[in-house]
Structure 1
Amino acid sequence: MSVRNRFGTAAAIALMTTVGAVLLSACGPDSPDSGPTAAPTGAVPGSAAPGTASPGTGSHPGSPAPGGKEVNGTSAANHLTISTGTQTVAMNGATVDFGTTVRDLAWSPDGKKAAFVNGNGDLVTANPDGTGKVTLAKNPGGETWSHPTWQHATTDPGVTTVPGALDRFDTIVFASSKGGALKLEKVPTKTPGATPEVLTPHNSEGGSEDMPQPPQTGNTWANAGGHRGEIAYANTPAGEVYIYDDYIRPSTRDLGKGSQPALSPDGEHLVFVRSVNGHDHLFTRSTQFDQKAEKDLTPSATTDYTEPAWSPDGKTIAARTPDGVSTLPADGSAAPTQVSTIKGLPAFRP
């Protein structure tokens, strides 16, 4: 079974819980005790037309689950959020109504903003409670946008970067598909209504036997990590994963066969998906130049693990499965455990 690349097309899926009659406590996105926009996890998302409902309308607090257990797998403690392509996002043990379709939700490095693709295919940011929506880029039509990620960096003393590089690090990178052609595009986070620019991975040396120029087409599924603007991405035609940064000078490296890569918060490790014996497995490896060993985190997989995401502390990986969302230790010390029956894209809010 091959990896399924969605490119942002997600059907509205009703949220499910493992305890049918239990309503979760109404937790907002910022603390377990607040959240006027939170709805019980048992509520069916998308009850209003996308883009027409106001955040929080029709949402009512529920009663705590027995023992305080968050049966939908998300809590303030684990930072896990799940977007399903509807207008509600699961977080903090409840659901938050964003008032518009939310596809491929990703969080800013400080956790104060969410980026996603709305029902019109536009790139939007919002507050964690769904308010304050800003359209960063309007889809021109005929394109499918997906999987936004924040490119970010901090300045190291004594390090000279590419001129203007730090300005580029206040940027959202996303995937675009038009007529079957795949590419990565970018927009600044502080200029609403900007026209996206194509992100072209390349090497400043012009290519060599040790560092050839990477493919310029077929690039998708970008995911940022670390503190130097690193971006991992997949090249579909080649079936390879790459890492790119231009903190000091443009550099792109091929890290091997796979898809749907995600960089650890410190940028030191990569998790990605590769098909093995009919199922999609999760693999990790170091991003260091001199380390190429890979580790299969799911060697006994009897289902597909896709769309991985790292926890803020880098110790846990969440992945989508046909039955919901599972988590496992990033060091592979234990098998995956299903934590949610919600079928959607996992992400961790820092």
Structure 2
Amino acid sequence: MSVRNRFGTAAAIALMTTVGAVLLSACGPEPTASGPSAAPTGAAPTSAAPGTAAPGAPSHSGSAAPGGKEVNGTSAANHLTISTGTQTVAMNGTTVDFGTVVRDLAWSPDGKRAAFVNGNGDLVLANPDGTGKVTLAKNPGGETWSHPTWLRATLEPGDTSGAAGLERFNTIVFASAKGGVLKLEQVPTKTPGATPEVLTPHSSEGGDDNLPQPPQTGNAWPNAGGHRAAIAYANTPANEVYIYDDYIRPNARDMGKGSQPALSPDGEHLVFVRSVNGHDHLFTRSTQFDQKAEKDLTPSATTDYTEPVWSPDGKTVAARTPDGVSTLPADGSAAPTQVSTIKGLPAYRP
């Protein structure tokens, strides 16, 4: 059954009729639509102690899996992590106890910090072993926050502005739902306790401010990629995917029908979800202006592939399925392979 069929009608009713509606988390036990995940009450704390690995270390950290066996599908070599909406995250072949509910886990570009939404709906940063937690932004109530992503940028050749020129990109963008209205918001990572501001995507290519402007509401599922502070996001009512680049001049581009987009690490390609013949397929396309060809990575799908993410080297895509997590070559040269039976949100730690 497709994302649209599973969630479209119910999610639309919930968002449009219930103020502060609590939806199922995208990293919880069941998949969700391309809108924000919810703020359910968290799982009760367990007695497992958090790991002691140094922040940013690629070695194993956290509690060993039952029986001393590694958690299937994750390893220090493949960088894959899986969050399930509880306080434990599978990574490096172990489970790491973060001491709080972890939803929509996303990693910083250097892999040394994790961003997630906790059981109170707040935006939190932590070390990879679950220590050093900081509440970056406290949910004011009546809102549902989801899918944080770290903007990233590097200086262009000849740019002499130095680190100060990148300061405005030291930011996390996330989705917010309030009173049935979906918007993107942003908050700087260096000022814990700051009040998030609404991110307003608009088009101004070549200095022309008279271009048709993208929708300002209904936006969800932000995902950053590349080195020019670009984000992909989905406009839920239109079932459209957009890319917004604010590095040189604001420019939002409609990339076509789809949901749950993710930008490749180099920003050159986009992967997204689209329903085909009753199942959710994964598609890729170039982000270049003059290239619009799309490729179905899962043309023979007999199940649903959702919530795709890119590996740090851009060669692999991981996606959630009803049975766990599968991976496949990003060029579509092979069919997906199930690598984990853990039912959760995949993410790659750089």
Q: Which residue of the partner structure matches residue 7 of structure 1? A: 36
Shift of 1:224: 0.2
Q: Which residue of the partner structure matches residue 108 of structure 1? A: 108
**In 2, Cα distance between the equivalents of 1:166 and 1:250?**
16
Shift of 1:159: 4.5
Q: Percent identity?
A: 81
Shift of 1:230: 0.5
**In 1, Cα distance between the equivalents of 2:251 and 2:167?**
18
Shift of 1:246: 1.1
Q: How does 1:301-320 map to 2 (within 5 A)?
A: 301-320=301-320
Q: Deviations over 1:41-99 (max 9, x none)?
A: x4xxxxxxxxxxxxxxxxxxx53x5xxxx551000000000000000000011100000
Secondary structure at the counterpart of residue 166 of structure 2: helix
TM-score calculated relative to the size of structure 2? 0.83
Aligned residue identity for 2:331: D
Shift of 1:2: 3.3
Q: Which residue of the partner structure matches residue 58 of structure 1? A: none
Picking from 63, 86, 98, the partner of 1:38 is 63
Structure 2: give runs of 5+ residues left out of the alignment. 4-32, 44-50
**In 1, Cα distance between the equivalents of 2:137 and 2:165?**
21
**In 1, Cα distance between the equivalents of 2:165 and 2:2?**
37
Secondary structure at the counterpart of residue 38 of structure 1: coil
Q: 2:71–2:94: 8 Å Cα contact kept in structure 1? A: no
Aligned residue identity for 1:286: S
Q: How does 1:195-344 map to 2 (within 5 A)?
A: 195-204=195-204, 205-207=207-209, 211-344=211-344
Q: 2:35–2:221: 8 Å Cα contact kept in structure 1? A: no
**In 2, Cα distance between the equivalents of 1:10 and 1:135?**
15
Shift of 1:160: 8.5
**In 2, Cα distance between the equivalents of 1:96 and 1:195?**
29
Shift of 1:280: 0.5
Aligned residue identity for 2:36: F
Shift of 1:39: 3.0
Structure 1: give runs of 5+ residues left out of the alignment. 14-25, 43-61
Aligned residue identity for 1:30: A
Shift of 1:156: 1.2
**In 1, Cα distance between the equivalents of 2:147 and 2:100?**
17
**In 2, Cα distance between the equivalents of 1:10 and 1:236?**
19
Q: 1:27–1:38: 8 Å Cα contact kept in structure 2? A: no
**In 2, Cα distance between the equivalents of 1:98 and 1:206?**
47
**In 1, Cα distance between the equivalents of 2:75 and 2:35?**
26
Q: 2:39–2:119: 8 Å Cα contact kept in structure 1? A: no
**In 1, Cα distance between the equivalents of 2:159 and 2:277?**
45
Aligned residue identity for 1:183: K
Shift of 1:9: 2.8
Q: Which residue of the partner structure matches residue 118 of structure 1? A: 118
Q: Which residue of the partner structure matches residue 53 of structure 1? A: none
TM-score calculated relative to the size of structure 1? 0.83
**In 2, Cα distance between the equivalents of 1:6 and 1:125?**
22
Structure 1 or 2: larger helix share?
2
